[in-house]
A and B are shown apart, each in its own frame.
Chain A
Amino acid sequence: QITLKESGPTLVKPTQTLTLTCTFSGFSLSTTGVGVGWIRQPPGKALEWLALIHWDDDKRYRPSLKGRLTITKDTSKNQVVLRVTNVGPVDTGTYYCAHRRIIAGAGYFEYWGQGTLVTVSS
């Protein structure tokens, strides 16, 4: 059974760095074809893909945020960490991590964590 759970601060001050951890079970990030991604959702708005890390440590970022995002993995701990630097109010929202598997030639986000709400405010 695949599960993922996000953890991190609920409140962050503007200009600080937000660090979120995704702890997962039921799969290994060293398995070919597997990835973990981060997606966020501002309150009342649509989903926004942020970053993705693959089993081979290939990393992809949303270009508009690329300079502020860093994604890393710790395979031994079954964790993926996302760092967002210099946060502002627009970074407020629910952050999800999700398991990605290659199916039919593309990778789809099959399993999602419950999400964690982050508020950026002074």
Chain B
Amino acid sequence: DIQLTQSPSFLSASVGDRVTITCRASQVISSYLAWYQQKPGKAPNLLIYAASTLQSGVPSRFSGSGSGTEFTLTISSLQPEDFATYYCQQLNSYPFTFGPGTKVDIK
């Protein structure tokens, strides 16, 4: 199985901050990576697919980059509604795996 690690696992930030989350894969996964946002008690919401393509309806302050084994999700200016947990997922090969998550909290 392809393992995904995320760093940091937790970050505390203020509204307006630039935030970067890293996802690393144990094997090359090309660009077959997605990012999700999950709020408490809610289903995950697809933000980014194919490592860097913004899902329709997602604000442009979210962006993704990377390929191979290292990927980043950036929020250019954190908004109050962005406080949530973020997961990466690889879809290069079965079984699809998720990262352990990064919780973004209010500073």
Contacts and interface: CB of A to CB of B under 8 A. Distances in A.
Contacts of B98: 46-49
Q: Binding site of B, secondary structure by majority: helix, strand, loop or mixed?
A: loop
Nearest to B51: A104
B53 A104 contact: yes
Interface residues of B, number: 27
Given A47-B44, A62-B95, A115-B43, A109 B34 contact: yes
Nearest to A6: B43
A114 interface: yes
B46 A109 contact: yes
Interface of B: 1, 31-32, 34, 36, 38, 42-46, 49-50, 53, 55, 87, 89, 91-92, 94-101
Interface of A: 37, 46-49, 52, 60-64, 96, 103-110, 112-115
